A and B are shown apart, each in its own frame.
Chain A
């Protein structure tokens, strides 16, 4: 799942100073699940904007909506229609960056602003807490590391660790909250009886499958003619 956190309120408000009619759009998938961009957060942000602008004596129209996903045209189309039909001056999206981009590509001359900071691909570690698990590098190496990703979960992205900053299983970057992933990998391989795998050092990674190789696409030939 994509995880995102709310932007500071004043930053969002700052984007919107010049617009009269603003539409706040939530996303019903990832950011609903990580409790930052669903229907409830739309209401809270919209309410806050009305109050804050109102206190400055500036009456703006703040509209609210929430769609199932921001990253599919069929779900997004009603929003595009609404923006046009109601003469919306600016859109605030509570989707991840994907959603903001997808809408921006289709909104013509209407600006869109992010209400969230998209942070990582993560999982729910505990109620109300998400942690990073994957970096989307495009060439998964976890077959060699007991299913645990050093690219995403090592503060230095080391492919052969640990470094000297590993102490009592914790990472020196934030010992209270970050575990040393190389300790986790070691423990995991030991449990699997495969500690010898650590003798095979991982070669330097080809980052061309990650963003270094340009904007990535992913196609399914049964549905799409690959060019």
Chain B
């Protein structure tokens, strides 16, 4: 970072992460995958996802998307729907994902590692270690891979085939998997120690906590994780007409919604927390309520009432507070206020714990029900034995677990190579900060593209997925809401800048400044590119879309043509990329296509960033006509751009008259509807117009 003369820090792109990437536990390069989608490069977007996350299919369905929570667009209207874009990418690149798989890694080391548990953290670590050339064996007690993803997340949120896509990809790296092999039962921990140079405990929190209240042994009481496992495996637990779920977290919500799909007339969810305190995501709570689940807040279970050994109801007492002054879990109750709910079934979803029985008798230290583990080195008390995932962090998200899986692979690889513990640096992530309110106030608002979930009455009938994937048009549209934070204008050639103030005066967001030379604070720039277009020294460029690259692409395209054979008139059309609703016009044009159609399209993120030189140069390349096609009325993301563009076009038209080309050879068009609908019509119409060259006029 360098300090600007105003004293504020000027964060340079590349040093600080965008807020979305910083918030993601694996720091997915969000801007880049979204930018690739907006250009129709879905395969390239998948490459970006897979760089850091082997579970993009899972995350596209169920991620709690901390990226969206920190999206700077929330300062303008609503966050970009990053999870839905991610899901679109994964679902539209299936064949590519299979094709891009490399052959299984060859084992390059004589060192071996065993991973206990095939959840997201264990599989991530296994894959990373396999890619580093170690022999990796994964031991999974169950007959499915994925851990809680396979057994605890109901299919309406995460269908098995969505998980399978990620797992198949991971397995292709060549890791060895032993399914149905429970460590401590089918193979002893000591045996694993003998056979391997390092062990990773990634068993997660696979068992439910029970409740220390009377009646929990009654028929009709279920433990949450067991219940979800049964549901996931098609063993429909028999619920009564009225079912009550205890717990206020996301797992409890999953249980309640799964229970609702098994047919009870009434499903309640009761928790200690008030509505505001509930740890479940608010959108999950809302969807549960839409499905008819009644939420009973601030009630603590006192006893499960039974009749002839079976559940008859549950008695609650009022919960006054859940946490003490230090925010520790320490509920207080008002015994004088009670409530009895008549139900036939009770499912306990108040939290999970690890099953560490396989460590009994081993030197690995366990403190109560918790594994002793150093968070920084991920090491347990026993050399060569490490831990990751929820067994180390406590309850968390899938993407968090993936993050610890990557870290575990790093520390294990270090241990295997050096025999030493690696303390992971306490990484301090710098992000670019909030979008300044003054900038946000200038930005135009565009509605987030939302999809309709299946109607509540329909969706509770079975476990079918309830959320449709974005259509291509929706995904493209939403991707363009991304502000492309910190990839905007910068002074590419500081010694060219004459400090003329044009950038500062023209910037529609009040971002550009001049202090001897121009600078555009990266935290604020909205990437419209107007300053670059008007800079008289061509000293400014836009990181996300360099002018030079656009010109080179155009020159290269023309160089590949036989100009004698191009259909005349040869039209070069600058089009706003935001007008496309499919890949029809986003894909590269072949020389044959250009020559046959007589149209070369050049897509730019905003045609407002075309300079006069950009508007003249196509004629130098041999174009007979140049069309500039802008967004539909009020469709431009940037304020006042259209006015500046039309002024630039007017100047260029006069110049074209002077140089003998004729002003009418350059025309500005406005799209009607989408580009897919209107561009071809615009091109055909413009090509058909007979224009006399205005030489000498």
Contacts and interface: CB of A to CB of B under 8 A. Distances in A.
Interface of A: 8-10, 28-29, 32-33, 35, 38-41, 43-44, 47-52, 54-55, 66, 68, 124, 127
Counting chain B CB atoms within 10 Å of each CB, the highest count among A32, A43, A124 belongs to A32
Nearest to B498: A32
B611 A47 contact: no
Contacts of B537: 28, 32, 38-40, 66
Nearest to A68: B495
Interface residues of B, number: 27
Contact of A44 (B495, B613, B660, B661): B613
A39 B535 CA distance: 9
Contacts of B495: 68
B215 to A, nearest CB: 79
B624 to A, nearest CB: 12
Nearest to B533: A40
B659 A9 contact: yes
B613 A51 contact: no
Contacts of A55: 660-661, 695
B535 A40 contact: yes
Interface stretch (B122-130, B346-354, B499-507): B499-507
23 contacts: A10-B658, A29-B498, A32-B500, A33-B536, A35-B500, A38-B536, A39-B496, A39-B536, A39-B537, A40-B613, A43-B538, A44-B613, A44-B655, A47-B617, A47-B620, A48-B616, A48-B659, A49-B659, A51-B660, A52-B659, A54-B620, A55-B661, A66-B496
Contacts of A39: 496, 536-539
Nearest to B622: A54
Contacts of B506: 127
Contacts of B539: 39
Given A32-B537, A55-B660, A48 B655 contact: yes
Given A28-B537, A40-B535, A40-B613, A51 B500 contact: no
Contacts of A51: 616, 619-620, 659-661
Contacts of A54: 620
A43 B613 contact: yes
A52 B302 CA distance: 92
A47 B538 CA distance: 15
Contacts of A38: 498, 536-538
B620 A50 contact: yes
Nearest to B538: A39
B515 to A, nearest CB: 16
A19 B617 CA distance: 22
Interface of B: 495-496, 498-502, 505-506, 535-539, 611-613, 616-617, 619-620, 655, 658-661, 695
Contacts of A124: 501
Counting chain B CB atoms within 10 Å of each CB, the highest count among A35, A41, A48, A66 belongs to A48
A75 to B, nearest CB: 11
A33 B659 contact: no
Contacts, number: 74
Nearest to B657: A9
Contacts of A28: 496, 498, 537
A35 B536 contact: yes
A66 B493 CA distance: 13
A10 B506 CA distance: 31
Contacts of A52: 659-660
A189 B203 CA distance: 87
A41 to B, nearest CB: 7
Nearest 9 A/B pairs, CB to CB: A38-B536, A9-B658, A43-B613, A32-B498, A33-B500, A48-B659, A39-B538, A52-B659, A47-B616
Contacts of B536: 32-33, 35, 38-41
Contacts of B661: 51, 55
Contacts of B655: 9, 44, 48
A29 B695 CA distance: 34
A123 to B, nearest CB: 12
B665 to A, nearest CB: 11
Contact of B611 (A9, A40, A50): A40
Contacts of B619: 47, 51
Contacts of B505: 127
Contacts of A40: 535-538, 611-613
A47 B658 CA distance: 12
A48 B499 contact: no
Contacts of A127: 502, 505-506
Contacts of A8: 658
A33 B499 contact: yes
A55 B662 CA distance: 12
Contacts of B612: 40, 44
A50 B620 CA distance: 7
B613 A47 contact: yes
Contacts of B502: 35, 127
A48 B613 CA distance: 9
Counting chain B CB atoms within 10 Å of each CB, the highest count among A8, A33, A35, A47 belongs to A47
Given A40-B538, A43-B613, 14 more contacts: A10-B658, A33-B498, A33-B499, A38-B498, A38-B538, A40-B536, A40-B537, A40-B611, A40-B613, A47-B620, A48-B658, A48-B659, A55-B661, A127-B505
A43 B611 CA distance: 11
Nearest to A8: B658
A28 to B, nearest CB: 6
Contacts of A48: 616, 655, 658-659
A10 B495 CA distance: 32
A27 to B, nearest CB: 9
Counting chain A CB atoms within 10 Å of each CB, the highest count among B502, B535, B536 belongs to B536
Contacts of A9: 655, 658-659
B558 to A, nearest CB: 14
A8 B658 CA distance: 8
A49 B620 CA distance: 9
Contacts of B535: 40
A11 B535 CA distance: 26
A171 B164 CA distance: 83
Nearest to A62: B620
Contacts of A29: 498
A55 B665 CA distance: 14
A41 B502 CA distance: 15
Nearest to B654: A9
A29 B537 CA distance: 10
A48 B538 CA distance: 18
Counting chain A CB atoms within 10 Å of each CB, the highest count among B496, B499, B500, B659 belongs to B659
A10 B694 CA distance: 14
Nearest to A30: B498
B656 to A, nearest CB: 9
Nearest to B612: A44
B217 to A, nearest CB: 82
